[in-house]
Amino acid sequence: MQDGNALAARLDLVPDEDKISSSREKGLTRVLQILEFLHTTQRAIGIGDLAKGVNAPRSTTYTLVRSLVDAGLLEMAGDGNRVYFGKKLYLYGMDYVRGNDLLRRGRQEVDNLSRETGETSELCMLQSGRYTIVHSSPGTRPFRISSATGLQIPLPWTASGRLLLAGFERAVIEDMVSKDDLVLPDGRKLKLDDFIADIAVAETAGYCVTSGLVDAYTKCLAAPVLSASGKVEATMCLVVPIDTSKEKTGELITLLRERARKLSIAG
User: Do residues 243 and 122 share a domain?
Assistant: yes
C-alpha to C-alpha distance for 183 and 134, rounded to whole angstroms? 24
Same domain, 53 and 123: no
Q: How many separate domains does the chain show?
A: 2
Sheet with 130-137, edge to edge strand ranges:
152-153, 130-137, 120-127, 232-241, 218-226, 208-211
| Residue 127: predicted pLDDT | 83
- Shared-domain flag, residues 77 and 123: no
pLDDT given at position 7:
39
The CATH number linked to 49 is 1.10.10.10
* Residue at which a domain ends, from 89, 119, 142: 89
User: What confidence tens digit (pLDDT) does each residue in 87-119 have?
Assistant: 998 888 888 778 788 888 999 999 999 999 999
CATH of the domain at 252: 3.30.450.40
The predicted pLDDT at position 258 comes to 95
Q: Has residue 94 been placed in a domain?
A: no
CB burial class (10 A; 0-12, 13-18, 19+) of residue 260?
A: buried
Confidence tier at 236 by pLDDT (50, 70, 90): very high
Gap between the Cα atoms of 57 and 53, Å rounded: 11
User: Which of residues 1 and 54 earns the better pLDDT score?
Assistant: 54
Q: In whole angstroms, what is the distance from residue 7 CA to residue 2 CA?
A: 9
221 touches 209 (CB < 8 A) = yes
Calculate the average pLDDT of the chain: 86
Task: Give the structural domain span for 125.
Answer: 100-266
Task: For residue range 112-166, list pLDDT tens digits in order.
Answer: 999 999 999 999 998 877 888 899 998 876 555 556 676 778 999 999 999 999 9
Same domain, 122 and 234: yes
Q: The whole model's pTM is what? A: 0.72
Percent of the chain having pLDDT more than 70? Answer: 87
| Residue 252 covered by a domain | yes
Asked whether the predicted pLDDT for residue 15 surpasses 70, the reply is no
Please check whether residues 164 and 204 belong to one and the same domain.
Answer: yes
Residue 95 lies in a domain: no
pLDDT in tens, 158-215: 999 999 999 999 999 999 999 999 999 999 999 999 999 999 999 999 999 999 998 8
